[in-house]
Structure 1
Amino acid sequence: MNTIAVANSKSLVPPDETTSLDAIAGTRALGPDILRAIAILLVMLLHLPAEATPLPLVGIRPYGWLGVDIFFVLSGFLIGTQLMAEAARRDSVDFKSFYLRRAFRILPAFLVVLALYTFIPSLRDTPTMQPAWRFLTSTLNFGLDPRSGGAFTEAWSLSVETHFYLILPVLVFLLKRRATMVFIAILAATIVIAGMGLRFAIWQSLVGAPAEVHEYGQAFAAYLRDIYYPTYNRLDGLTLGVVLAAVRLFRPLLWERYMPPYIALVIGSILATAALMIFSWRGPFTETNLPLLLQPFPGAVVGFPLFSAGVALTLGAMLDLQPKIGRWHLPAITGIATLSYSLYLTHKAVYQLDRMVFGRENLQGLSGFVIYVATCFIVAAALWFVVERSFLHLRDHLVPRSR
């Protein structure tokens, strides 16, 4: 079995294959944009109060948290593609360039929103907030109990992403001459299975305790704190995204033979649907008012990797179909995907701002939904044009992408 090394890069990654994948990692493609747009709309819907949720969306709203898992798969694929393609070409990883480019991409908008939350408490969706140092050190998602500070807690996923950015370049550098595809498959399977086992053990000891099952606040907070938020329990999507990148980079013919786009779409849809069915099964929670996010054993253990696998296969199919779907003119999808990060950072504060400006009684029904969506996009667009785009231009000037 060939190793992922520059000595074998010609046999592993033909030049035209590498170029096309680098383009996917560095430019906009409609397939990933569709998934990115779906992800952010799901997250926004999840945090929309029930009284402002249109009837057709009521059944979808409890599943909105799955948007974060879609983001994790996309991140795993795109960052994995960039790093592994660079390692195959240069037999090295430019750590300085990678970390600087990620910092320019993530930090400016995040720091602006964090400052607003910190110094303008009226924007907070809940009265209390975690200490600023937890946001700044990317430790927010460890031991996070939303009852002791729930404002801007959506930043937990940025902590997971930061840990991923810190670890993956080191792994790629260390394994670039040693890892075979079999080794990568075993490593990925180990990470996923270990995560399943860990979530099962934690669920049994904490969330599954009979005394907690019928206590809404205690059970839900324990589930979020010990299962949903920590990085070590949320590696499924990132790992499967990286595996997709490795297979498409180093075994493109294998992917083409066994996962043609329509087969990958069908299997991906089946896996995602199976995960949704598992997430919908309430078991002992049937007679309680606990939210759908609080999963009993099957959802907490196997639901996350199953859904992530479905998203990864769907993403792979969309990338193969890019020559066809790339002809579609869908500016709304591209616009939503472009603003997705700014929308993620600001959508909860925007609803709080809407309540102050329009009054809670005017944010109900369809009119409340329209106001929420419109103001979210106005604020996100402002953040994008003033902060995100400016620093992306500065990044491309100061830290050009390595070629």
Structure 2
Amino acid sequence: MNTITVASSKPLDPPDEAAPLEAAATPRTLGPDLLRALAILLVMLVHLPVEATPLPLAGIRPYGWIGVDIFFVLSGYLIGTQLMAEAARRRAVDFKAFYLRRAFRILPAFLLVLAVYTFFPSLRDAPTMQPAWRFLTFTVNFGLDPRLGSAFTEAWSLSVEEHFYLVLPVLVVLLKRRATAGLVALLVATIVIVGIGLRFALWQSNVGPIAEMQIYREAFAVYLRDVYYPTYNRLDGLTFGVVLAAIRLFKPLLWERYMPPHIALAIGGTLVMAALVIFSVRGPLAEANLPLVFQPLAGAVVGFPLFSAGVAFILGALLDLQPRIGRWHLPAISGVATLSYSLYLTHKGIYHLDQMVFGKDNLQGLSGFVIYLATCFIVAATLWFLVERNFLLLRDHLMPRARRADEA
């Protein structure tokens, strides 16, 4: 991103103005909520069977998997802002407080849902599941072969997030005194280029030979296991989110000068559309009738960074537009965003439960879609009120100084 490279080669200065630090403490803003709500609705849509997908949404459904990449950008921005703002204020990062906040935010609902999947196999969204210890250690996304257990596989992205939580605070501490614009740009370029190289090598060596033999379903499983799920291949969104946070915190006047909202939206929209075009070019995979998440070489290699960079530009524009759009009263958007984590954890299992209760034949067309949405939101709201909300209140009671910037 060119805006950071034009700064001096001296260590990054404290923020140009106090406003970004104050914004980092704001509990919710509409821009991130819009993207968060869009992300979870896309993820819910992609896991909905075709027969229960209304016709107007049929063309969007295959692309629903990109919702996870939107979540990664949001998480990179929000957690990056939290940690870097703290380091700028205190010249240090409180590791204990950070990890406790994340534990209160992530673990209670996750552990409850994992317990349900573990002890009540009939409620699983698939017959087999990876060992529970892999979920508990957040290593499930390494070597995750859906042929050997595909229940609760959505937890793969939580593993990526947990690895990000482990690394970023250490990186912020290491760079807080010696980070120059050039060093940061080099680090970001290295992460993106290494990711591109790894995906290229893994696709060519592990996926390509199987796809060339037209054993597409096996190639799909290998693609998910070796290319799509591992943390080292999915750092693009988190990285661009952190870069956005760094620029807005430390060089906000530079961002304001070169990236007014209309420019940022135009660039972001162009990058997102370019990524979607690349994702749409299926080549020989088109005949396999497999989910669009199974990307040929071009999409797997360059599609992820293109899309993530585009979302980061759009997020930056929405944050700048907050004084205007913040006046909009959109309780539905805020509600969906608030429930997004509980929805993410439960939506696949709820559709399976719907099949058990209503019967698969009654979950088709518009009625099936309405049943799916209603039951997902009922269960997610219950989980939020009984578990998420209470543990967040407990966290705020135990850690009154650490309440904000924790909505990722």
Shared fold (TM-score greater than 0.5)? yes
Return the structure number with greater relative CO, CA threshold 8 A, min gap 6.
2
Shift of residue 276, structure 1, vs aligned partner: 0.2
Superposed counterparts of 1:3-402, under 5 Å? 3-4=11-12, 8-9=13-14, 12-23=15-26, 27-210=27-210, 214-402=214-402
Shift of residue 206, structure 1, vs aligned partner: 1.2
Shift of residue 30, structure 1, vs aligned partner: 0.5
Q: Is the 8 A contact 1:207 1:213 kept in 2?
A: no
Change (3 A) 1:184 1:118: same
1:289 partner amino acid: N
Number of aligned positions between the proteins: 395
Other structure's SS at 2:43 match: helix
1:85 partner amino acid: A
Other structure's SS at 1:165 match: helix
After TM superposition, the structure 1 stretch with the greater mean CA deviation from structure 2, 204-213 or 68-77, is 204-213
How many percent of aligned residue pairs carry the same amino acid?
Answer: 75
Change (3 A) 1:211 1:390: closer
Q: Is the 8 A contact 1:240 1:312 kept in 2?
A: yes
Q: Write out per-residue CA displacement over residues 47-80 of structure 1, whole angstroms, 9 at most, x where no aligned residue.
A: 0011100111111111110000000000000000
Q: Write out per-residue CA displacement over residues 261-319 of structure 1, whole angstroms, 9 at most, x where no aligned residue.
A: 01100110010000000000012223322321111111000000000001000000000
Other structure's SS at 2:127 match: coil
Separation in 1 of the partners of 2:316 and 2:160?
Answer: 23
Q: Is the 8 A contact 1:22 1:81 kept in 2?
A: no
Other structure's SS at 2:288 match: coil
Q: Write out per-residue CA displacement over residues 201-220 of structure 1, whole angstroms, 9 at most, x where no aligned residue.
A: 10001111156552232111
Q: Is the 8 A contact 1:213 1:219 kept in 2?
A: no
Shift of residue 402, structure 1, vs aligned partner: 4.5
Change (3 A) 1:28 1:288: same
Change (3 A) 1:266 1:211: closer
What TM-score results when the alignment is normalised by the length of structure 1? 0.96
1:18 partner amino acid: L
1:180 partner amino acid: T
Q: Is the 8 A contact 2:216 2:285 kept in 1?
A: no
After TM superposition, the structure 1 stretch with the greater mean CA deviation from structure 2, 138-147 or 211-220, is 211-220
Separation in 2 of the partners of 1:175 and 1:213?
Answer: 47
Change (3 A) 1:298 1:340: same
Q: Is the 8 A contact 1:109 1:342 kept in 2?
A: yes
Q: Write out per-residue CA displacement over residues 211-244 of structure 1, whole angstroms, 9 at most, x where no aligned residue.
A: 6552232111000000000000000000000000
Shift of residue 196, structure 1, vs aligned partner: 0.4
2:228 partner amino acid: Y
Other structure's SS at 1:150 match: coil
Separation in 1 of the partners of 2:105 and 2:402?
Answer: 16
Change (3 A) 1:211 1:307: closer
Shift of residue 13, structure 1, vs aligned partner: 3.5
Change (3 A) 1:379 1:336: same
CA RMSD of aligned residues (A): 1.2
Separation in 1 of the partners of 2:223 and 2:63?
Answer: 16
1:89 partner amino acid: R
After TM superposition, the structure 1 stretch with the greater mean CA deviation from structure 2, 281-290 or 38-47, is 281-290
Structure 1 spans left out of the alignment, 5+ residues: none
